A and B are shown apart, each in its own frame.
Chain A
Amino acid sequence: MSERGQFNLQQRVNIALGIAALCLSLIILRLWYLQVLRGDFFREKSENNRLNTVYVPAPRGLIYDRNGKELVTNRPSVNIELVEEDAPNPKQTISTLASILGLDPATLTENPAYLRKRRRFEPRLLLKDVSRDTLAKVAARRYQLPGVIINVEPTRNYAYGPFAAHVLGYIREITRTQLDSPQFAGYRIGDLVGQFGIESRWESLLQGKHGEQRVIVNALGTRIGEFSYEPEVAGSEVTLTLDYELQRVAEEGLKDKRGAVVALDPQSGEILAMASSPAFDPNIFATEISSDRWRDLVFGPDKKLNNRVVQGGYPPGSVFKIMMAVAGLAEGVVTPNERINCPGFLHFGNRNYRCHKQSGHGSVDLKEALAQSCDVYFYTVGQRLGIDRIHEFASRFGLGRPTRLDLVEENPGLIPSTEWKRRYFKNPEDKKWYPGETLSVAIGQGAVVTTPLQIARALAALVNGGRLLRPYLVKSVAATEGEFRDDRFGPEEQGRLDVEKRILDTVREGLVAVVNDPRGTGHRAQIAERKDIVVAGKTGTAQVVSLNLSGSHEHLNDHAWFAGYAPADDPKIVVVALVENGGHGGSAAAPVVSRVMAQYFGVKPAEGESQQSVTSVED
């Protein structure tokens, strides 16, 4: 105890106590800050740490034909993916995989899906939709491929390949521009969205709603369990107005040709078949399509992505004479019985406007003029009507006006008029309408542009009592949640011809004669197997005005048209066929229409298409 005299322990202890109290208080203050003041913030952070949101894609809605046949479905596809975190040497794994499959390693790593940014432990896509064979090879050598996983993913399946490709469209990964647009709010990078056709137009219904699975993960990213699950909602099922069999026949009719076929129910506007050739296989978009292939599809000489039914603009040629006949009668410039002489040409101004029959048709009335497609007769009617009255009636038939099919951007077509010329041209010289131009328009040439669907709509109006109906493709939508209603799914009248029934009947008699009169131009539209069903219609042979210098001679061939309906007295179907550079409408387009109609009226195609002898003179 000797030292204690100079050593005040209590004082020293008190100082130590003070320092300790200060430090511990500091820690308690800090804990108060972290746990009480900012507790909610850190609680949320810890939740974000442990919960990973996994988006569960909803099965995309199926697409059916009008009879419930599945046209577009979903199938599982097998992808080969790589989790880099599980591979000690990802490069090594990739080159091993490449050598197993006999591929260049670069092809595995250069696809855009592989290069996309990703989270930790998120697999990178190496090969999409691999074959059974490839899968077997990879599975057998799995132990050599650390980090490689096999993933099954739903893929869109267009059951019949290029079948109705232009109607169905395709799906593809959402683009950056789409992501930014409000229309695609809620979509994420990598989502597959409809980019064309029905897939694009009805994207919002077909897509459904993806599910959100919140999984609990540990620090290594391994899933420990499920926290919550908001189930996905499957996309709505869309039933089209298309008839599978009819569509198939229409497409066969266009095999190896460029052209379009469309079949309508004239009473409702339902589209029964819509074929555009050449077509493409929408399934190719399921894999990563090469840019060369893409360019060929979009910009290639065949313009495969073009839906010629609504995007192809063609001069209607003699098909336009239907509208001319109605206009002539309705305006009283010609009577059904008036006979006009056709010497093979019409002299007007300083030149002769030729009829396609150089020897001339002789004296023809309206019915004969239609049946034989006499140009001189309609030059005369055209002269009497004048361009603006022609324009007026063509417009009533919906020509030069979009059909509002609402599938792709339509070619609106064009029916020239004096006003159009005034507005369209800058040069005062060009603004003037020349009477000679009227003659060209009268036979569906000159500046006249129509789409096959416009012609079909117009013909339907002629035969359904004068109602211009909007053509449509979607029959019904079976919504997965609640009942989906949309007034676009029924017939919709877009206008009326406002022409006496008597006049329409007179013109229809002429159209019956086109197919059935011995001198008619459209014999080959007859249904050989069903003589009881009378087909009516109009041929058309449109001169190709655009001079394609680089193209071969075939490019300058005429476009062949046939627009027909049947049965003649109670029309159930309107079919329009256009064959680009096909030559004569009666020989190139009419048989296509005939086959579609035969199918519609239950003739089995296997019974053979009896080739009718070509006896009549084509227009």
Chain B
Amino acid sequence: MDFLDRRMWSQFDWYLLALAFLIPICGLVVLYSAGYDPDASDFLLKWLPGEIKSIPFEKQLFFLGVGVLVVAAALSIPTAWLQRLAYPVYGLCFILLIAVLIPKIGIVSNGSRRWIPLGIFNLQPAEFMKTALILTLARYLSRNLPRPGGYGFRQMLVPSLLFALPMYLVARQPDLGSALSLGAIGFSMLLFVGIRVRALVIMALTLVLAAYPAWHHLHPYQQRRVLVLFDPDADPKGSGYHITQSKIAVGSGQILGKGFLNGTQTQLEFLPEHTTDFIFSVLAEEWGFIGCVSVIFLYALFLVRILRVVARSKDVFTALVAFGVCAWFFFHTFINIGMVVGLLPVVGIPLPLFSYGGSALLSCLFGVGLVLGVAMRRLSYARG
């Protein structure tokens, strides 16, 4: 540990830390409403005066508390350790991803095998894989920098496999959302370092040509999710239901929103999965355009602050770690909100720091911790 270095604390990004907790606190307010159940009684916070009638809220609050420790743990890891731990952690996560596919280990929920039960909570290996991938790619790429002009195909083979293999395993669960986000994080990190224009053009062409066979490899339910994006009214009670109800929730919020606990789409459960993937619809319904723009503004500030850390980091490895985290947050935020407002197909990607779910919140906060660690060490010299 290198805590004793005073210069480190002078570089500590309190602003980023504040944002990293301000967003989940906003999320808790919305989650209270999303998980509101007038018949519920206090679950964890029995000692508090008044009654809390939202079990997801209490659970999330608990995880946010744990999150403080996770942030502290993440930022205290010295850079050298991150480098050293990157591959082993990646290997461990890779094994867990294989393990979760084994019926006796992974448990099925909503038709996909994503969780490993660990008694008090269920572990979602795909969540941890994101962090592991960021560290591994950062380490690999920082040691295999391209010649001027960027990476060619041959150089991209190994880093591509580093994210393509876990993508494949996650897609097998199936968890298209997480698979897509692993790909997006990996590819944007490659792009950040640099890819040759010629290679980029060829990839774009291949993508277009591969789109057709790939389309036929999608599950019919996944195909429908894409199709309803263009015509949600074609099947309003079937696959278009999510998007139709979400758009109604968002639109009906109008400018000022219906008010806390007053969202009819949410409270009467017309809105599906309103504590997790569609939490933003709840925000939109109850807090309106004003509320949405405010929260998006917080996310924007948060991303800008991380990018500031990227720009000011001391080496390529740390820059890539911080950038990977930034890409992760950005893609999740954009894809989730884009899906909720009907711009993008429905894929199961939660809104980072906002959606209900312990694994997701803790892994996001771990990512924030990594960035904070990078920021505070930008002036110190790596030792050992």
Which residues of A are interface residues toward B (Cβ below 8 A)? 1, 3-4, 6-7, 9-10, 12-13, 16-17, 20-21, 23-24, 26-28, 30-32, 34-36, 38-43, 45-47, 49-50, 216-220, 224
Inter-chain contacts of B254 with A (CB < 8 A): 35-36, 39-40, 42-43
Q: Are B248 and A16 in contact (CB under 8 A)?
A: no
| B226-254 vs A, Cβ < 8 Å mask (1 yes, 0 no) | 00000000000000000001011111111
Across the A-B interface, the 5 shortest Cβ-Cβ residue pairs: A42-B251, A39-B254, A46-B252, A218-B268, A34-B251
Complex interface: chain A residues within 8 A of B255 (CB): 35-36, 39
Smallest CB–CB gap between B383 and chain A, Å?
14
Shortest distance between the CB of A476 and any CB in chain B (Å): 49
User: How far does the Cβ of B277 sit from chain A's closest Cβ, in whole Å?
Assistant: 16
Taking a contact as CB atoms closer than 8 A, the residue among B248, B296, B341 that contacts A46 in the complex is B248
Q: What is the distance, in angstroms, from B345's C-beta to the closest C-beta of chain A?
A: 15
CB of B179 within 8 A of chain A? no
Q: Are A46 and B316 in contact (CB under 8 A)?
A: no
User: B241 to chain A: closest CB distance in Å?
Assistant: 10
| B319 CB-CB contact with A under 8 Å | yes
Binds A, one of B77-85, B307-315, B365-373: B307-315
Contacts of A23 in B (CB 8 A): 330, 334
Inter-chain contact B323/A49, CB cutoff 8 Å: no
Q: Across the interface, do A42 and B252 meet the contact criterion of CB distance under 8 Å?
A: yes
Apart from A20-B334, A30-B341, A32-B289, what are 18 other A-B pairs with CB-CB below 8 Å?
A3-B316, A9-B319, A12-B323, A13-B307, A13-B308, A13-B310, A20-B303, A26-B338, A27-B334, A27-B343, A31-B293, A35-B289, A35-B292, A46-B248, A46-B249, A49-B264, A49-B265, A224-B268
B270 at the interface (CB under 8 A from A): yes
Whether A39 and B253, one on each chain, are in contact in the complex, defined by CB atoms closer than 8 angstroms, is: yes
Across-interface contacts of B28 in A (CB, < 8 A): none
Of the listed residues A32, A41, A46, A47, the one surrounded by the most CB atoms of chain B closer than 10 A to its CB is A46
Interface check B304, CB cutoff 8 A: yes
Residues of A within 8 A of B312 (CB): 9
Within 8 A of A (CB), among B123-174: 142, 145, 148
Q: A49–B267 Cα gap in the complex (Å)?
A: 12
Known A13-B307, A20-B303, A24-B296; judge A45-B142 contact (CB<8 A).
Answer: no
Knowing A27-B296, A50-B270, A219-B268 touch, does A34 contact B313 (C-beta < 8 A)?
A: no
- Neighbouring B residues of A32 by C-beta, 8 Å: 289
B248 touches A45 (CB 8 A): yes
Are A24 and B310 closer than 8 Å at their CB atoms?
no
Contact A30 B343 (CB under 8 A): yes
* CB of B381 to closest CB in A, whole Å: 9
B299 located at the interface, meaning its Cβ lies under 8 Å from any Cβ of chain A in the complex? yes
Give the CA-CA distance A59 to B121 in the complex, in Å: 59
Cα(A47)–Cα(B342), bound, Å: 20
Residues in B neighbouring A36, C-beta threshold 8 A: 254-255, 289
**A-side contacts of B270, CB under 8 Å:** 46, 49-50, 218-219
Question: Could you say which residues of chain B place their CB within 8 Å of the CB of A43?
Answer: 251-252, 254
Contact between B338 and A217 (Cβ–Cβ < 8 Å)? no
Q: Which label, helix, strand, loop or mixed, suits the secondary structure of the B interface? A: helix
Q: Cβ of A4 and Cβ of B316 under 8 Å apart?
A: yes
* Residues of the B chain whose Cβ atoms lie less than 8 Å from the Cβ of A21: 300
Classify the interface of chain A: helix, strand, loop or mixed: helix
Cβ–Cβ contact A3 & B304, under 8 A: no
Can you list 27 residue pairs at the A/B interface with Cβ under 8 Å?
A: A1-B314, A7-B319, A9-B311, A9-B319, A12-B192, A12-B310, A16-B307, A16-B310, A17-B307, A24-B299, A27-B296, A27-B341, A28-B293, A30-B338, A31-B284, A32-B289, A34-B247, A34-B251, A34-B342, A35-B284, A39-B253, A40-B254, A43-B254, A46-B248, A49-B248, A50-B264, A217-B268
Q: Is the CB of A24 within 8 A of B300?
A: yes
A553–B311 Cα distance when bound, in Å, is 116
| A132, B284: Cα distance in complex, Å | 53
Min Cβ gap B42→A in Å is 23
Chain B 332-377 residues near chain A, CB threshold 8 A: 334, 337-338, 341-343
Residues A28 and B296 in contact in the complex (CB < 8 Å), given A20-B303, A50-B264, A50-B270: yes
CA distance A33 to B289 in the complex (A): 10
Q: Give Cα distance in the complex from A90 to B158, angstroms.
A: 58
CA–CA, A220 to B330, complex, Å? 35
Q: Are A4 and B252 in contact (CB under 8 A)?
A: no
Pick from B142, B264, B304: contact of A17, CB under 8 Å: B304
Taking the closest CB of chain A, its distance from the CB of B320, in whole angstroms, is 10
Cross-chain pair count, CB within 8 angstroms: 135
Q: Is B269 positioned at the interface, with any CB of A under 8 Å from its CB? A: yes
Task: Please state if A35 and B307 are interface contacts (CB–CB under 8 Å).
Answer: no
Assuming the A-B contacts A46-B265, A219-B270, are A34 and B323 also in contact, with contact meaning beta carbons closer than 8 angstroms in the complex?
no
Taking CB atoms, residues of chain A closer than 8 Å to B268 are 49-50, 216-219, 224
Query: A34 contacts which chain B residues (CB < 8 A)?
Result: 247, 250-251, 284, 341-342
CB of A35 within 8 A of CB of B288, answer yes
Nearest residue, chain A, Cβ from B314:
A1
Residue from A3, A47, A220 within 8 A of B142 (CB atoms): A3
In this assembly, does B326 line the interface, its C-beta being within 8 Å of a C-beta of chain A? Answer: yes
| Minimum Cβ distance to chain A for residue B243 (Å) | 12
CB of B150, distance to nearest CB on chain A (Å): 12
Asked if B250 and A31 sit within 8 Å, CB to CB, the answer is yes
- Shortest Cβ distance from residue B170 to the other chain A in the assembled complex, whole angstroms: 23
Question: Chain A: which residue is nearest B237 at the CB level?
Answer: A120
Closest to A9 in B: B311
Distance in angstroms from B83 CB to nearest chain A CB is: 14
Which residues of A sit under 8 angstroms from B245, Cβ to Cβ? 49
Complex interface bits, B242-286 against A, C-beta within 8 A gives 1, otherwise 0:
000101111111110000000011001110000000000000110
State whether A35 and B269 are in contact (beta carbons under 8 Å apart), knowing that A28-B293, A50-B264 are contacts in the complex: no
Tell me whether B314 and A31 are in contact (CB under 8 A): no
CB distance from B127 to the nearest CB of A (A): 22
- Say how far B53's CB is from chain A's closest CB, in angstroms: 16
The answer to whether A26 and B307 have CB atoms under 8 Å apart is no
Residues of chain B within 8 A of A1, CB atoms compared? 314-315
B250 surroundings in chain A (CB, below 8 A):
31, 34-35, 42
Which residues of A sit under 8 angstroms from B310, Cβ to Cβ? Answer: 9, 12-13, 16
The answer to whether residues A31 and B269 also contact, given A3-B315, A38-B251, A41-B251 and a CB cut-off of 8 A, is: no
In whole angstroms, what is the CA distance A13 to B253 when docked?
35
Q: How far is the CB of A594 from chain B (nearest CB, A)?
A: 72
CA distance in complex: A47, B264 (Å): 8
CB contacts (< 8 Å) of A13 on chain B: these are 307-308, 310-311
Chain B residues near A26 (CB, 8 Å)?
Answer: 338, 343
A480 to chain B, nearest CB (A): 35
In the assembled complex, which residues on chain A have CB atoms less than 8 Å from the CB atom of B338? 26-27, 30
B189-226 interface with A by 8 A CB criterion: 192
- CB <8 Å contact, B269 and A218: yes
Q: Complex Cα distance A218/B264, Å?
A: 9
- Min CB–CB distance A337 → chain B (angstroms): 93
Q: How far is the CB of B56 from chain A (nearest CB, A)?
A: 18
Residues from chain B with a CB closer than 8 A to the CB of A35 are 250-251, 253-255, 284, 288-289, 292
Closest A residue to B310 by CB, please name it.
A13
A36 to B250, CA, bound (A): 10
Q: Smallest distance from the beta carbon of B324 to chain A beta carbons, Å?
A: 12
Residues of A within 8 A of B192 (CB): 12, 16
In Å, the complex CA distance between A62 and B193 comes to: 87
Cα A21 to Cα B297 in complex, Å, equals 10
A17 to B342, CA, bound (A): 24
For the complex, give the distance between the alpha carbons of A42 and B312 in Å.
45
Which chain A residue has the least Cβ–Cβ distance from B323? A16
Question: In the docked arrangement, what's the CA distance between A127 and B270, Å?
Answer: 33
Chain B residues within 8 Å of A218, by CB: 268-270
In the bound assembly, the distance between CA atoms of A39 and B284 in angstroms comes to: 11
Residues on B with C-beta less than 8 A from A220 are: 269
Instruction: Point out the residues of chain B lying under 8 angstroms from A217, CB to CB.
Output: 268
Within the complex, what minimum Cβ distance (angstroms) separates A89 from chain B?
A: 21
Distance between B219 CB and nearest chain A CB, rounded to angstroms? 25
For A23, the closest partner residue in chain B by CB is: B334
